[in-house]
Amino acid sequence: MSVYIQPSVILVDKFKKMRFFRNESETEEVMSESSTPSTPTSPAPEPYEIKTITNADSDALLGHLRKFFFKDEPLNVAVQLIEYENSTCPELERYSLKSIKEGTSLMAVTNTNHVIGVCLNGTITSTISNEAETEEDDCENVKFSKVRSFLNYCGKEGTKAIAQRYPDVEKIMFVKIISTDTAWRGKGIAKELMDRTRKIGRERGYGLIRVDCSSYFSARAVARLGFECVYELKYKDYIENGQPIFQTEHPHLSFTVYVQKM
């Protein structure tokens, strides 16, 4: 396969000014990787806690992601990775579970054991962007292989951009996936998950927190939380045989990498 990257790949050279949400609802509205933003709603209707995800939570975690993340993520939608309501992608699910072993991934759970939000985190360095790009095994799922190859490429380019901007930072907290139950969006769940992730990063000596955004809404959210965009690739410029590989839905026009100093 010959993939051509047009020269409009953007390495962002200017620091973005901090912008803050007017309230928690606006933050939550765009924090989850979905095709459309949610409508801000009332405060949380029942108590919940933020807990570290363990292997014992795998089934509950996947249940949440299947319902609220996998089917709406822009790249998955573009390649029709999840073809119908109850279909699954084992390769994507295995990829999602890999972060659990590090003990830094979080989930929000109600008193009735309902998972209302998740934040999958991992550790990367200035020379390795994420574990996806180190996987060299053949993938039989052609659709997932396209997504993974794209993430590998952007992961490496994002790492180069970070190394140029922050040459002294070695240890980075990587937010792989953040997702919220549709019924709980607008209630501050995603913001609290991000705040707790940042706290873990500081306690463990990470220099940066990094978020790779395939969604317009997630990119807008982290920008408003004070994150700096260091890399952007427009989907129309990732081309195979003269045609863009990903025909994403509006307003998802590009893949971006955001970072914030701890």
pLDDT, tens digit, 9 for 90 and up, residues 110-157: 999 999 999 999 998 765 544 444 444 567 889 999 999 999 999 999
Average pLDDT of the segment spanning 161-185: 94
Contacts 24+ apart (CB under 8 A), 145-148: 146/79, 146/245, 146/246, 147/75, 147/76, 147/79, 147/81, 147/92, 148/91, 148/95
Q: What percent of the chain has pLDDT over 90?
A: 69
pLDDT at 122: 94
Burial (CB count within 10 angstroms: exposed 0-12, middle 13-18, buried 19+), residue 210 = buried
User: Residue 198: pLDDT band by 50, 70, 90 thresholds?
Assistant: very high
Check whether 13 has a pLDDT greater than 70: no
Flag whether pLDDT at 33 surpasses 60. Answer: no
Q: Which CATH class is domain 48-261?
A: alpha beta
Tens-digit pLDDT profile for residues 42-86: 577 789 999 999 999 999 999 999 999 999 999 999 999 998 888
User: Whose structure tokens read 């309902």?
Assistant: 114
pLDDT given at position 111:
94
Instruction: Answer yes or no: is pLDDT of 200 > 90.
Output: yes
- Percent of the chain surpassing pLDDT 70: 79
Per-residue model confidence as pLDDT tens digits over 203-255: 999 999 999 999 999 999 899 889 999 999 999 999 988 999 999 999 999 99
- Rounded to whole angstroms, the maximal C-alpha distance in the chain is 52
pLDDT band at 10 (very low <50, low <70, confident <90, very high): very low
Selected residue with higher pLDDT from 20 and 101: 101
Return the closest-CA partner of residue 131 out of 106, 156, 163: 156
Contact yes or no for 218/28 (Cβ under 8 A): no
Domain-wise residue ranges, the chain: 48-261
Burial 23-47 (b: 16+ CB within 10 A, else e): ebbbbbbbbbbbbebbeeeeebeee
Specify the amino acid at residue 9.
V
3-class DSSP state of 142: helix
The whole-number pLDDT of residue 86 equals: 80
40 vs 130: CA distance, rounded Å: 33
Residue 12 has pLDDT above 70, yes or no: no
Rg (CA), the chain: 17
pLDDT at 39: 43
As a whole number of angstroms, the distance between CA 182 and CA 133 comes to 31
